[in-house]
């Protein structure tokens, strides 16, 4: 039996998550895929001077040079194995004005911490501490690396961006709420998205497409 990265990182605190969040963050059965859809209230950053950098990251499916409201999106979570350990591969498709854009990442547990590798090919890696608060999950990055070819370069803590993710369940709307904010020392918030969505585990019918994406990631 495999253990989801989130359950492994949280330990017994996993059981303090809202039951709907437990279903989201727990193991995805073999032959199944988690799918969700909803809308983000905001995506991107109004700091246009950052857009050239974000445009480079957009080519690798990490972040996007936009500042948009009411952006529909879908998410697909699939169980994978990374370096012999269970992980979750996610594709979030943002339906931006005029074009869709995909954010792709893999999250795994390493030394009791969650490690998220973003991009195809991978360009950024972040290590997170995780805690449960009032039934919701809060992740906060404590280390960030840039991946260039085979090089893995840690960004010094004094200038490293800090990523904070919160997920919680809204009883009134019966939807999952998600919020990500990226802040840089001395600058403040440089990227964000937040919104709500519905999610379910369904039978997987398109393994071939996912295998092709994983093959592209490994190049």
HSE-CB at 33 with a 13 A cutoff on CA atoms is: 17
What is the pLDDT averaged over residues 77-92? 91
Task: Categorize the per-residue pLDDT at 213 as very low, low, confident or very high, splitting at 50, 70 and 90.
Answer: very low
pLDDT at 208 over 50: no
DSSP the chain: ----HHHHHHGGGGGGS-HHHHHHHSPPPTTEEEEEEEEEEEEE-S-GGGHHHHHHHHHTTS--S-EEEEEEEEEEEEEEEETTEEEEEEEEEEEETTEEEEEEEEEEEETTEEEEEETTTT-EEEEEEEEEETTEEEEEEEEEEEEETTEEEEPPTTT--EEEEEEEEETTTTEEEEEEEEEETTTEEEEEEEEEEEEEEEE---HHHHHHHHHHHT-
Verify cis geometry, omega within 30 degrees of 0, for the bond prior to 121: yes
What is the pLDDT averaged over residues 118-146? 97
Query: Are the CB atoms for 63 and 88 separated by under 8 Å?
Result: no
pLDDT computed for residue 212 by the predictor: 40
**Percent of the chain with pLDDT strictly greater than 70:** 93
Phi, psi of 53 (to 5 degrees): -70, -45
Query: Which is it for the CA torsion 45, 47, 50, 52, positive or negative?
Result: positive
In the chain, what are the domain boundaries? 5-217
Closest residue by Cα to residue 35 from 216, 210, 181: 210
What is the pLDDT averaged over residues 29-56? 96
Task: Categorize the per-residue pLDDT at 211 as very low, low, confident or very high, splitting at 50, 70 and 90.
Answer: very low
pLDDT computed for residue 83 by the predictor: 81
pLDDT at 197 over 50: yes
Query: How many of the other CB atoms lie within 10 Å of CB of 25?
Result: 22
**What is the model's pTM?**
0.89
pLDDT computed for residue 30 by the predictor: 84
Q: CATH code for 5-217?
A: 2.40.128
Task: Categorize the per-residue pLDDT at 6 as very low, low, confident or very high, splitting at 50, 70 and 90.
Answer: very high
Average pLDDT, the chain: 92
Residue-wise pLDDT for 136-191, tens only, equals 999 999 999 999 988 999 999 999 999 999 999 999 999 999 999 999 999 999 99
pLDDT computed for residue 214 by the predictor: 46
Structure tokens at 59: 């080519």
Query: Are the CB atoms for 164 and 180 separated by under 8 Å?
Result: yes
């Amino acid at each position: 039996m495999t253990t989801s990265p989130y359950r492994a990182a949280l330990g017994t605190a996993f059981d303090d998550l809202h039951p709907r969040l437990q279903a989201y963050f727990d193991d995805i059965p073999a032959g199944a895929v988690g799918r969700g859809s909803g809308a983000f209230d905001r995506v991107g950053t109004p700091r246009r001077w950052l857009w050239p950098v974000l445009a480079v990251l957009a080519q690798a499916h990490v972040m996007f040079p936009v500042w948009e409201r009411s952006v529909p999106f879908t998410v697909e979570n699939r169980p994978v194995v990374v370096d012999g350990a269970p992980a979750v591969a996610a594709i979030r498709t943002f339906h931006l004005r005029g074009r869709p854009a995909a954010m792709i990442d893999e999250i795994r547990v390493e030394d009791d911490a969650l490690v998220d590798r973003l991009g195809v090919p991978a360009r950024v890696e972040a290590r997170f501490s995780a805690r449960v608060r009032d039934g919701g999950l809060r992740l906060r990055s404590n280390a960030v690396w840039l991946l260039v070819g085979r090089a893995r370069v840690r960004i010094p803590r004094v200038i490293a961006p800090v990523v904070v993710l919160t997920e919680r369940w809204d009883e009134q709307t019966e939807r999952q709420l998600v919020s990500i904010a990226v802040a840089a020392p001395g600058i403040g918030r440089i990227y964000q998205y937040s919104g709500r969505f519905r999610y379910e585990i369904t039978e997987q019918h398109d393994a071939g497409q996912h295998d092709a994406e994983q093959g592209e990631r490994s190049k």
